């Protein structure tokens, strides 16, 4: 991107240097976060795969492989493909048990199996990704026209859809493009239309969770979810919506998806603090000043993707905002040293979670991906 070349090259050089040893150290793992010693954990223990909250089904388990494919695209080094395939092989075991799988098969299998197939043509990856897409399509509620997020019945989630799913739609678009069967794309578009009507507020902010009646499809209410409360604006959710609608636009060419992404982006731009440090929720109280560097990186990626699809004269403000966020991360919230396996610091899973400001592997994924967007390296995996 013009005007930022020196800074971009310097940050990417630090990413390459760090990931060279981090990837070797953790090559058999699927990491989610670092512990108190700065070492990555491992979510690939198959004994936990029945549970959504840690084992092999954990929703972020595609991102480590995704980071490896980003580096493979950049460096051309085969060892990154080899490490990515460790994740892909392990994740395939989720299909055998089926129980515990959820709508986040998109997040799990796009950066692993779809990426592998797109970049190398591996036929096994095509089979794995089509299998995952078929499971995702099976979660569609045809009366409410939404994809069901989770499986819980104790807290009845049969009618729950969440904003994060805008990213999972990528798997369905890919499946239609690959199989020539329009049903996957049709489901993705029906879900995206439901989200446009029920999640995106007139000011461009979005809800995290919307509950529908699973029998009639009527909207029941919205929930605050990982944000500060009902009616709030969880920042990572703004990112899922902005970038997610861009993914729908890229795969369908439908103008309303681009317009929606722009509306969400404009809301973000109006609320990004001067420091470029992103809070957990744009509507949270000033204190405690909880941050979410992961939401920051997702928003930055969405802004860059939006800018790429706008006429040149409209791009500047979105590119500038993305670079401001990424500079804040690189200057003040990144660890490029050897004391911690993760780069991006100060992430928060949710506003009301007991712990804040830790690392999350998917923050690293979106940071590295966004830096490569600024540099213009690699093809879009989503």
Binding-site ranges for ligand GLY (CB under 6 A): 164, 226, 236, 349
341 is catalytic: no
331 is catalytic: no
- Residue 168 CB, nearest distance to ligand GLY (Å)? 11
Give the nearer residue to ligand GLY in terms of CB position, either 1 or 65. Answer: 65
* Active-site hit among 53, 54, 74, 104: 104
- Residue 234 CB, nearest distance to ligand GLY (Å)? 8
Give the nearer residue to ligand GLY in terms of CB position, either 8 or 168. Answer: 168
- Residue 226 CB, nearest distance to ligand GLY (Å)? 6
Give the nearer residue to ligand GLY in terms of CB position, either 226 or 284. Answer: 226
Give the nearer residue to ligand GLY in terms of CB position, either 83 or 381. Answer: 381
Beta strand spans in the chain (E):
140-141, 146-147, 160-162, 209-212, 219-223
In this structure, what are the phi and psi dihedrals at residue 13, rounded to the nearest 5 degrees? -60, -40
Q: Dihedral of CA 167/195/136/352: which sign?
A: positive
Non-local (6+) Cβ contacts of 279 within 8 A are: 235, 273, 289, 290, 291, 292
* Active-site hit among 74, 164, 292, 341: 164
Whole-number Å distance between alpha carbons of 55 and 48: 4
Give the nearer residue to ligand GLY in terms of CB position, either 72 or 351. Answer: 351
Whole-number Å distance between alpha carbons of 327 and 323: 6
- Give me the numbers of helices (H) and strands (E) for the chain, helices first please: 14, 5
- Residue 349 CB, nearest distance to ligand GLY (Å)? 6
Q: Dihedral of CA 57/60/65/69: which sign?
A: positive
Q: Dihedral of CA 108/109/113/116: which sign?
A: negative
- Residue 184 CB, nearest distance to ligand GLY (Å)? 22
Whole-number Å distance between alpha carbons of 171 and 297: 21
Catalytic residues: 104, 164
């Amino acid at each position: 991107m013009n005007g930022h070349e020196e800074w971009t090259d310097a940050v990417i050089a630090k990413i390459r240097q760090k990931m060279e040893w981090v990837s070797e150290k953790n090559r058999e793992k699927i990491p989610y976060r670092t512990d108190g010693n700065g070492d990555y954990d491992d979510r690939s223990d198959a004994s936990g795969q029945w549970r959504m909250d840690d084992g092999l089904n954990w929703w972020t388990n595609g991102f480590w492989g995704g980071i490896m494919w980003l580096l493979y695209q950049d460096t051309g080094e085969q060892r990154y493909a080899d490490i990515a395939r460790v994740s892909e092989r392990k994740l395939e075991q989720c299909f055998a048990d089926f129980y515990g799988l959820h709508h986040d098969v998109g997040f799990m299998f796009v950066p692993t199996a779809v990426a592998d197939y797109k970049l190398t043509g591996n036929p096994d990856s095509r089979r794995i990704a089509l299998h995952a897409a078929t499971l995702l399509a099976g979660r569609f509620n045809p009366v409410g026209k939404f994809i069901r997020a989770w499986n819980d019945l104790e807290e009845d989630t049969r009618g729950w859809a969440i904003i994060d799913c805008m990213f999972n739609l990528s798997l369905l678009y890919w499946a239609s493009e690959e199989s020539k069967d329009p049903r996957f794309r049709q489901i993705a578009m029906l879900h995206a239309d439901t989200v446009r009507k029920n999640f995106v507020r007139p000011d461009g902010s979005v809800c995290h969770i919307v509950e529908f009646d699973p029998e009639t499809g009527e909207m029941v209410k919205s929930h605050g979810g990982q944000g500060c409360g009902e009616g709030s604006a969880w920042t990572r959710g703004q990112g899922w919506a902005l970038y997610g609608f861009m993914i729908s636009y890229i795969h369908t060419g439908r103008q309303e998806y681009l317009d929606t992404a722009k509306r969400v982006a404009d809301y973000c731009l109006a609320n990004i603090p001067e420091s470029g440090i992103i809070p957990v929720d744009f509507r949270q109280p000033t204190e405690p000043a909880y941050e979410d560097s992961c939401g920051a990186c997702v928003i930055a990626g969405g802004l860059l993707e939006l800018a790429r699809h706008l006429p040149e004269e409209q791009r500047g403000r979105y590119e500038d905002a993305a670079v401001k966020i990424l500079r804040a991360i690189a200057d003040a919230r990144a660890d490029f040293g050897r004391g911690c396996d993760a780069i991006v610091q100060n992430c928060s899973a949710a506003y009301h979670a007991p712990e804040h400001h830790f690392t999350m592997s998917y923050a690293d994924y979106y940071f590295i991906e966004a830096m490569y967007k600024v540099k213009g390296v690699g093809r879009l995996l989503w």
